[in-house]
Structure 1
Amino acid sequence: MSTVAVPSGQQRRTAELEDRISRAPETFRVMTGDRPTGPLHLGHYFGTLHNRVRLQDAGVDVFVIIADYQVLTDRDVADRLTAHMEGLLLDYLAAGIDPARATVFNHSAVPALNQLLLPFLSLVSVAELNRNPTVKDEIAHSRQSSVSGLMFTYPVHQAADILFCKGNLVPVGQDQLPHLEVTRTVARRFNERYGEVFPEPDALLSAAPLLLGTDGTKMSKSRGNAVALRADADETARLIRGARTDAERHITYDPENRPGVASLVLLAALCQDRDPHAVAEEIGAGGAAALKRTVTEAVNARMEPIRARRAAYAQDLGYVRSVLRAGNERANEIASATLAEVREAMGAVI
């Protein structure tokens, strides 16, 4: 469970932004989202969902995109897309996303957003896209034999996602900073060439720790190593029982040398709002069995109200779909206005 060094300047900037959010949340518009490729899991909850709800509750205008077009960046077809989109909506609502205070929408329903991709592509060189380390990593882990143009231009499409609503704050992990830098570059170059239209969005670095999957690698929807938010108590217990630990009986919190054990300790601590060192000390000589029992109880206690809300929303899919329709309507109004402003700035209005 390695950590990535974050530039001190970026840490200071994030601290400044958090202070400004606490004083004037209404001055921020957050843009974030997910690809509908499968159920969200505990890594998503503690890594992103929890933070989105925090910002929403603080009074920030939060936009959440269901990036259905971007499913095609690393796969040939978008399997079970409608079911996955509904699943994401259920996870969002269950986790606390409030449609009265947040806008949830999907790519393919907002044509004006996607039309911004064309002028934005003219502002970025092929060499710059080729150097993007996040794209390189995604290509390396792609299941396709060749790289599609959509994957290659993914950072610019993401710029359209952020800038269509003039988002000025993007919660990201360290690995997503290169993507956001493309967005800042696009905004800056557009403004320099055509006049001031877009903000240069700031990165709000997430303090969320990395949770490993049950196999000791990164928790992922595609690897089958995650505990989904929709998992019931029995399935959760089964998955945690099978999680990788090590041969040392005494439980300690040592992310560097005992990543599997540390990730489980951390998961219990996050669920209980406790310090992981205290959790490890409490388990002590109880070994892996006691650790997994503690984690299972903590996860099930934390997820019980979320599961209950999800089950209730699943009984009213008409309402769930209406949330997306309303979000799409607002996103379309904003995207159309932004596109009109872009066309006027470019002199493309007759």
Structure 2
Amino acid sequence: MSLKNPKQKMSKSDADIRSRILITDTPMEIHHKIRLALTDAGSTITYDPEKRPGVSNLLEMFSHAEALTSGPSGTTGRSPTEIALEYENSSFKALKQDLSSKLIEMLGSIRERYVEIMEEDAKVVASGSSEKESYLGMVARKGAEEASANAAITMRQVRTAIGLS
């Protein structure tokens, strides 16, 4: 959910860039956005989505990030309630610091690969070489070929169904 309004989905179209975490965000940007994330009145950390949507949103993000970084697929992290119990005597600052570290861990390799692909593609495009295809160009071409093959099958089925073949 949004870092600024926990009752709304996190969205790229939100005017406030601090409302979302992007895979292109640097670790510093992630720390900053989480530090500014909305929490609720009160000084304790509890999981109650109805009465405490701000802190509950952070706990849910923590739970999901933990599940994605906890090891072999199929393993799950702790529930938001379990995480809240761990942090019940801690500050919001401590929760946010640990959450931002967990998000950085989760997104780190994805961000690195994204940057690598963009840099490699920029070099291919800048070289002007017609012999070497960029990675994104290859992905787009293969996707178009697959879509065309699927469309041909569908069109044959449609023509047969309406008696045109």
TM-score (normalised: structure 2)? 0.77
Larger radius of gyration, structure 1 or 2? 2
Counterpart position of 2:102: 298
Counterpart position of 2:140: 324
For residues 99-118 of structure 1, what are the structure 2 equivalents within 5 Å? none
1:222 pairs with 2:26: no
Counterpart position of 1:281: 85
Deviation by residue 1:86-116 (Cα, 9 ceiling, x = unmatched) = xxxxxxxxxxxxxxxxxxxxxxxxxxxxxxx
1:238 pairs with 2:29: no
Please report the RMSD computed on the Cα atoms of aligned residues, expressed in angstroms.
1.4
Residue 260 of structure 1: CA displacement? 1.1
Unmatched tracts of structure 2, length 5 or more: 68-76, 122-133
Deviation by residue 1:140-187 (Cα, 9 ceiling, x = unmatched) = xxxxxxxxxxxxxxxxxxxxxxxxxxxxxxxxxxxxxxxxxxxxxxxx
**Greater strand share, structure number:** 1
Residue 342 of structure 1: CA displacement? 0.2
Q: Distance in 2 between matches of 1:322 and 1:248?
A: 53
Q: Distance in 1 between matches of 2:65 and 2:155?
A: 43
- Residue type of the partner of 2:159? R
8 Å Cα contact 1:213/1:226 also seen in 2: yes
1:344 pairs with 2:155: no
Counterpart position of 1:313: 117
- Residue type of the partner of 1:306? I
Deviation by residue 1:190-241 (Cα, 9 ceiling, x = unmatched) = xxxxxxxxxxxxxxxxxxxxxx111122211111321111111011111111
Identity of aligned residues (%): 32
Unmatched tracts of structure 1, length 5 or more: 1-211
Q: Distance in 2 between matches of 1:281 and 1:327?
A: 46
8 Å Cα contact 1:249/1:285 also seen in 2: no
Counterpart position of 1:254: 48
1:335 pairs with 2:151: yes
Corresponding residue pairs, total: 138
Structure having greater relative contact order (Cα 8 Å, sep ≥ 6): 1
Residue 321 of structure 1: CA displacement? 1.6
